[in-house]
Structures are given as C-alpha cells and as structure tokens.
Amino acid sequence: MIRMNRFSRYNLIAVTLLVIIGFIWIYPFLWVMFASLKTSSEMFSAGATLLPENWDLSNFVRAWDKANFSTYFFNTVLYAAAATVIELFKSSMCGYVLGRYRFPGRNLLLGLVTATLFIPIASIILPQFKLVQALGLLNTRAGVILALSGGSGALYVLLFTGFFQTLPDELFESARIDGATFWQTFRLMLPLAKPIIATVVIFQFMSTWNEFNIPLVFTLGRPELRNMAVGMYAFRGEFSVDWTGFAAGTTISIIPVLLVFFVFQGYFVRGLAGAVKQ
C-alpha cells in the first residue's frame, strides 16, 4: 500500500514534468505539421500560434506533385529498406565474428573501426563518387544502395561485437554439443541480439530515409531514381523558397519514420529497458 502511494506520488511529479517539457519538446514538431496547413504569409507572421486561420490542404497537393513524391516514395522505401537490411547483415556478421573469434588482424580491424569512428570525414562524397563510377554503378539503384550502406556501420559493428562477446559461453557450448554448424549457431544467436538489431534498424533507417546527398549525386543522369529527401529541395527556388510546401513535404516524409519507431519501440522496451522489468 505504502509502496503504491509512493510511486503514485512520484508519477504525479514526474508525469507533470514530462508532460510540460514534452510539450515544449514536440512543439516545433507540431509547428511544422500545422505550418503545412497555412499560407506562406501566415506561417511567417503567425509567430507561436499553432492553429491556422484557414485550413488549407493545397500545400499537400503541391508538395506531392512538385517534389515528385509519387515517384520518389518507392525509391525512398527501397533505399531505406535495402540499406538497412544490408547494414544489418554485414554488421551483425562482422560483429559476431569479432565478438566470438580470435584471428590474425582482428585487433587491427577493431582498432581501425574504432579510430574511424572518431575521425570526422569531410566531403567524402567525391571519392565515393569516383568509386561508384569506376564500378559502373552510377545512375543505378544498386549504386545508391551500395553507397548508402557502405558509408556507415562502424558503430553498429562495435555494438554487435560487444553484444556477442557478452553472451554466456554455455550457450555456444550447448550449441556445439548439439552439433550445430557455424552458420546454425549464428542463426541461433542472432535473434538474441534483438535490442541491437532494433537500434541499427532505427538509426540506419532514419538516416537513409533523410539522406539526400548520396541519392542525389549518384543518380544525376536519371532524376527518376531520386528519393523524397532530394525531392524536398524542389521547394527551394532560385529566388524564393516555398516553405509551406516544404513543411507539407516534411510532414509527409517523416510520418513513415515515426511509424517505424513506433513498431520497433517494442524491441526497445524489451531490449534496452527490459532489464528493469525483470
């Protein structure tokens, strides 16, 4: 009884605090959503006011057409999904091996991966571009996907390495006794890494979804291969910017990302914070 009361008291304070700060926190977010329903002059003059005077859906229509979202939506989903799957695939495999096996060059690889994590790489797009060109993959979806999933991943590898390293050895022992092959053991262990998988999926999906440099640069000869983040730049003209169209475009394009977060949040709850529940 006393316990319950104490936690209820905590909740009153904490929830109040979280609601107030939370509102401030997502206020800019709401502001974008509502700005997409305003006229451009209202958006600039309304200050803090959220609700538009007249609800105007034309921004969405314009955003969809002008930013080519109907064409780009498919590309965006494809790029984000493919890059995420590849990222997951390569970083989990690499992390698994690094976490469980000792082999020549292992320390060097770990050291390099760690070091590059800390080096800011400025304007690497040019060398990447030359590489993709040399591979003959310019103006193909494959080139974009490759570049999207190639440039990141050091952190993810370290995440998986650490995870597999901390799995209890008895697990592997019993797998071995059961006669599981290398591949079968990996198949058994991978699902245990759900929290890491969730982290990779969310961060990688989010960053590829919003990435505009790579999809732009590697598809210059074929504009129909671009994604929505590139399309968003259609609102910036030579002399003026269509901010309300941009806001509408933003609203359209971030909703799927939030959905992904909602879906995978389950894994977060279990994986990242689950320990507390036990």
Partner 1 sequence: MARFSTSQTAAAVPLNGRIKKRRTKSIPLIQQVAGADRFWVMLFLLPFIILYTSFTLWPLLATIIYSFFDWDGNGPLELFIRLENYITIARDPLFWLSFRNTLVFALINTAIKLPLSLMAAILLTRKWLWGQRLFRTVYFAPLVIPVAMAGLIFQLLLHPANGAINDLLTSTGLVQRPIDFLGNERLALLSLVIVSVWQIFGQYMIYWMAALQNVPEALYEAAELDGAGEWKKLVHITLPIIRPVAIIILFLAFVNALKVFGLVVTMTGGGPGFQTYVVPYFIYTQALVDFPFRYGYASAAAVLFGVTILLAVTVQGYFVRRAEADRKDYGV
Partner 2 sequence: MKRKPLLIVIFLLIAAAAACAPQTVEVTRVVTETVTEEIEVTRVVTETIEVEGEEVEVTRVVEVMTEEEMEPVTLRVMNWSQEQADFYEQVAAEFQNEYPHITVEWDTLEQGQYRETLPLMFQSGDSPDIFFWLGGDRVLTMAELLDQNWVAPMDNTVLPDDFYDRWPEGSFLEGINVVNSLPYSFPFNDNFVWGPGYMYTNKDVFRAAGLDPDVPPTTWSELRTTCETIAENTDAFCLAVPLGNDLQRTWYPLSGMNFTDSFFDYQQGRFNIDDERQLETFNYLQGFFNDGLVVPGNNDKDFARQSMANGQAAIYFGGAWMPSVFAGYEVPDLDLGVFPPVMPDDGRAGSLRQSFSENKFYISAQSTHRTEATLFLEWMTRPDGFFATEYLAQGFGTLPFSDMGQYVTDEGLLQVIDVANENNLRVAYPEPVVACADVAQSKAVSNANSLTRNWEFIAMSEALLNGEDFSGTAAEIAEAKNGEFLTTLEEEAAAGLMIGVECFAFPEWEDITQAYDSALYETHQMPASDDS
Q: What is the distance, to the nearest Å, from the Cα of residue 135 to the centroid of all Cα atoms in its chain?
A: 27
User: In the bound complex, what is the minimum distance in angstroms from residue 176's beta carbon to partner 1?
Assistant: 10
User: In the bound complex, what is the minimum distance in angstroms from residue 124's beta carbon to partner 1?
Assistant: 4
Give the H/E segment covering residue 233: none
3-state class (DSSP) for residue 164: helix
Q: Is 140 in the site for partner 2 (CB under 8 A)?
A: no
- Please choose, from the candidates 225, 230, 228, the residue with its C-alpha nearest in 3D space to the C-alpha of residue 73: 228
Q: Which stretch binds partner 2 (CB under 8 A): 83-91, 113-121, 192-200, 239-247?
A: 239-247
Q: Is 138 in the site for partner 1 (CB under 8 A)?
A: no
Q: Is 41 in the site for partner 2 (CB under 8 A)?
A: yes
CA distances (Å), origin 57, targets 21, 84, 137: 30, 33, 40
Cα–Cα distance, 75 to 216 (Å, whole number): 12
- Indicate which of partner 2, partner 1, none lies near residue 78 (CB less than 5 to 8 Å, by partner kind): none
Among 31, 129, 172, 203, binds partner 2 (CB under 8 A): 129
Q: Is 185 in the site for partner 2 (CB under 8 A)?
A: no
3-state class (DSSP) for residue 50: coil
Q: Among residue numbers 148 through 177, which ones bind partner 1 (CB under 8 A)?
A: 149-151, 153-155, 157-163, 165-169, 171
In sequence order, the β-bridge partners of residue 241 are 236
Per-position b or e across 136-167, b if 16+ CB within 10 A of its CB: ebbbbbebbbbbbbbbbbbebbbbbbebbeee
3-state class (DSSP) for residue 63: helix
Q: Is 124 in the site for partner 2 (CB under 8 A)?
A: no
User: In the bound complex, what is the minimum distance in angstroms from residue 166's beta carbon to partner 1?
Assistant: 5
- Indicate which of partner 2, partner 1, none lies near residue 184 (CB less than 5 to 8 Å, by partner kind): none
Instruction: Using the minimum distance from each CB to partner 2, give the nearer residue, 46 or 192.
Output: 46
Provide Rg for the chain, Cα atoms: 23
- Could you give the angle at the alpha carbon of 123 between the alpha carbons of 66 and 202, nearest 5°? 65
Instruction: Using the minimum distance from each CB to partner 1, give the nearer residue, 194 or 226.
Output: 194
Instruction: Using the minimum distance from each CB to partner 2, give the nearer residue, 109 or 138.
Output: 138
Q: Is 271 in the site for partner 1 (CB under 8 A)?
A: yes
Binding track over 62-81 against partner 2, x by CB under 8 A: ----x---------------
Cα–Cα distance, 1 to 137 (Å, whole number): 67
Q: Is 45 in the site for partner 2 (CB under 8 A)?
A: yes
| Site residues (vs partner 2, CB under 8 A) | 39-41, 44-45, 66, 125-126, 129-130, 133, 138-139, 212, 216-217, 220-221, 223, 230, 233-243
